[in-house]
Amino acid sequence: MKNILALVESRKAQFAQLPIFQYLQDDRVPARERLRWTPHLAPLALGFGDLWRDILRRETADTPLQVLINRHASEDENHWKWYISDMRKLAFLGDMPFSDSLHFLWNEQRPKTRQVCLKVAGLTYTAEPIVVLAAIEALEATANVVFTKTAEIVRELPDEQKTGLHYFGHVHLIEDSSHSMFEADRQSIEDLDLTHAQELQAVTVVEEIFACFTEAFEEIMLSVEQPTADIQPTLIAA
């Protein structure tokens, strides 16, 4: 498994260099403004609750690896509730009508963020636990990049603005860091042996996960550069 973990670290370093993360560190932009893109994350943030609960966790945990995965999934499956709470507090969309909110999230110009959970589900639904483990390592790596940056921004906010921001603040980051594939199990994970076929599949899964996250966050950067381009509903004649 060491080769897979090394690949994850390499792709994580590349992912962290995306323009969106450089922007999030730009203190010339007010801290709250650097979080204005966060409503675009909704399909991904909410979709991961379903992924952890219905795809990555399996009721028949007949191997130690699946027990480990199930434990991890149980801890992560409700983080979407923090996202809802943060969105309520940040209120970037104000009183946007429900129909316009749907268009904001499901418009033709911004499909990549919606596709992340679908792609991860496709990659892992029938995969062996050891391959699912590789997928989770990749998912945790992308999350660490994102939430490290957002937690730094939240820390810059005035007290009245940052109080209660759990998803994008340090609560989420600390929660994820405390069980990033369970550090107590790290050595045993590194020592896992994969067959040649398993390693090939794990490499493919890791590469595909980083690719779809890269596309999603490149797309999110467009929402920073063109903040109103995707919130105007396309009207259909009756």
CATH of the domain at 97: 1.20.910.10
Rounded Cα distance between 22 and 166, Å, is 22
> CA nearest 4: which of 189, 215, 212?
189
Report pLDDT for 235: 42
Structural domains counted in the chain: 1
Report pLDDT for 165: 94
Rounded Cα distance between 227 and 220, Å, is 10
- 229: pLDDT confidence band, cut at 50, 70 and 90? low
**62-107, pLDDT tens digit by residue?**
888 898 899 889 888 999 999 999 999 998 888 888 888 888 888 8
Mean pLDDT value of segment 199-206: 98
**116-170, pLDDT tens digit by residue?**
999 999 999 999 999 999 999 999 999 999 999 999 999 999 999 999 899 999 9
* Contact yes or no for 12/141 (Cβ under 8 A): yes
DSSP 52: I
Residue 208's domain comprises: 2-225
Q: Which two tokens stand for residue 105?
A: 């999230």
In a domain? residue 233 = no
**16-49, pLDDT tens digit by residue?**
999 999 999 999 999 999 999 999 999 999 999 9
In a domain? residue 141 = yes
In a domain? residue 77 = yes
H/E run at residue 199 = helix 196-225
In a domain? residue 176 = yes
In a domain? residue 232 = no
Q: Which two tokens stand for residue 232?
A: 């105007």
In a domain? residue 235 = no
In a domain? residue 88 = yes
